[in-house]
Amino acid sequence: MNTLNLEQGVRDNIQIWLEGNYDDATKASIHQLITSKDERELTDAFYKHLEFGTGGLRGIMGAGSNRVNKYTLGAATQGFSNYLNQLYAGQEVSVAVSYDSRNNSAYFASVVADVFSANGIKVYFFEALRPTPELSFAIRQLQCQGGVMLTASHNPKEYNGYKAYGADGGQLVFPHDEAVMREVAKVQNVDDIRFKSIDANVISIGKDIDGLYLDAIAKVSLAPEAIQRQRDLKIVYSALHGTGSQLVPPALRRFGFNNVILVEEQMKADGNFPTVVYPNPEEAEAMTLALAKGATVDADIIMATDPDADRVGLAIKDGDGTFVLLNGNQALCLLTNYVLSARQQSGKEVAYPYVMKTIVTSYMIDAIAASKGVACYNVLTGFKYIGEVMTREAGKKTFIMGGEESYGYLVGDHARDKDAVVACCMFAEMAAWYKDQGKSMYDALIALYTAYGFYKEKLISITKKGKEGAEEIRAMMDNYRNHTPEHLGGSKIVMVKDYKSSISKDMKTGSVENIDLPTSNVLQFFTEDGSIISARPSGTEPKIKFYCSVKTELQDPSAFKETAAFLDHKLSLMLRDLGI
């Protein structure tokens, strides 16, 4: 190793793993990297320890302190166990554990369950793979003090991860997330991790929770009569080789839909995701087979969920009868308008209703909610912040629904995380509701643009892998902070919000205001004409993301394509001015 050009911190971490009580296979894989002189891989695997981001612990599988493996997950679980046992000292502590279809997820889940049980914690362990939102539901249903979901959501097959949940069924937020990480940091030696299971502390769960979860979802339905009349609505659904295959089809049947057409090639759980490049319904490529099936059967609606079934992609027919993929903002705008409208029509009035979204999600949601007399709260990126507010406001205000532009939605308060199972049901119900009125979801979308303004959003993700990539992303954010452009797309920047410093600055007057949200490495630029660009390094992927939003009036639906082209051009000019 002395012949390798590695930083001292990397060398120290490697030496700890080679000399510590790690298994022979792990040590052999490290020696292989040393022998092959793979300095880049060694650096990326050992230059830091995995940390909790917006979605928990997530990374590439393999040996190393910055990799997902038995030891990093074991350390995380040991730290989490220590924290729970301290927080609930003198009480019986229980957690729920589940996993998705990814390679090694079942094995990692068993390791996590072993460590919890070895620390005297009762573990409700799902007998087979289940969706993330069902884990959130189970935590609350079983009155657990925490939970863990083994998943890397929509990341490529090389990834896996660990979502940690609190007693409210939501992912850990401040101060609990930082407290757990402090406990994890104290696990300095692999021998501090209790891997030997106490089998009596592990309880198998499955079908019983499925039934309760499906019952809770069914209660969210707002238009059972429309579904009854449109029960043969043609729904094409793909699980993208993930957990959605377990519960989305039965949930749709529970709602009353009789004609659910499955993309059979993608219904089998498979962590290699053989039919897609990237198991992410945000990517058009991942929807290819579902779109082809939809065209063949002349479907009314097409949906696909990601591996842990907390995100859903949606395709509907446009005015020419051609299927088009909606982005997360469009889908959420449609869903928000439908849910609030259907609630009003059905007379389901509640006290202090509110909806939620993230700061990088379409501001059309705010306008729709305001027109319905419903409050709209904006939170930082990450559904855990929506769950946090739901818990805080429980018993005082009524949560209706929430969502984010990254294809995550929740209708109803049965969970504290985004839920593609209930979202699939509500999108199908919305399609039935509009069809029952002789309309389409595309008609409804155009109507929203004419009523509230044509909001057009675009997400640009730039991948920067490894230690060098992380440094590049940090330099980009520093540059935007220190050299803020004066104009974007020909429009003057009038406000800059820096969520890292919690300061909102009026660029005209120079006055500043505090931002009443937790700190986060996000910058937002607001222009004179109402455009917004948000820059944010991802908390779970080696990416920096730019969320772009432009708006203009749509006077006549016939001008839709022309107006869309105008907004696309404006978006390109704004991105050019940011050097993207």
- Cα separation of 463 and 542, whole Å? 6
Residue 287 is classified by DSSP as: G
Alpha carbons 353 and 402: distance in angstroms, whole number: 12
Task: Quote the tokens at residue 571.
Answer: 């978006």
Contact (Cβ atoms closer than 8 angstroms) between residue 461 and residue 469: no
For the packed helices 39-46 and 8-19, what is the interaxial angle rounded to 10 degrees? 80
Give the DSSP H/E element, type plus range, for residue 24. helix 24-35
Distance CA(183)–CA(177), nearest Å, equals 10
Q: Which residue has the tokens 């660029």?
A: 507
Distance CA 462, CA 489 (A): 20
Closest CA to 179 of 85, 97, 116: 85
| Beta-strand relationship, 353-358 and 375-379 | parallel
Residues 411 and 387: their CA atoms lie apart, in Å, by 12
Residues with Cβ within 8 Å of residue 482, at least 6 apart in sequence? none
Q: Classify residue 465 by burial, with Cβ atoms within 10 Å: 0-12, 13-18, 19+.
A: middle
Say which amino acid occupies 477: M
Q: What angle do CA 547, 290, 211 make, to 5 degrees?
A: 90
Collect all residues with Cβ–Cβ distance below 8 Å to 53 and sequence separation of at least 6: 538, 539, 540
Report d(CA 25, CA 276) in Å as an integer.
30
DSSP 238-273: E-TTSTHHHHHHHHHHHHT---EEE-GGGTS--TT-
Establish whether 153 is a catalytic residue. yes
Distance separating alpha carbons of residues 333 and 314, to the nearest angstrom: 13
Distinct helix (H) and strand (E) counts, the chain = 18, 23
| Three-state secondary structure string covering 42-88 | HHHHHCCCCCCECCEEEEEECCCCCCECHHHHHHHHHHHHHHHHHHC
> Where do the DSSP E strands lie in 318-397?
323-326, 353-358, 375-379
Tokens 């939620």 belong to 356
Which is it for strands 398-404 and 353-358: parallel, antiparallel or unpaired? parallel
Annotated catalytic residue within 153, 406, 520, 531: 153
Number of neighbouring beta carbons within 10 Å of residue 366: 18
Catalytic residues: 153
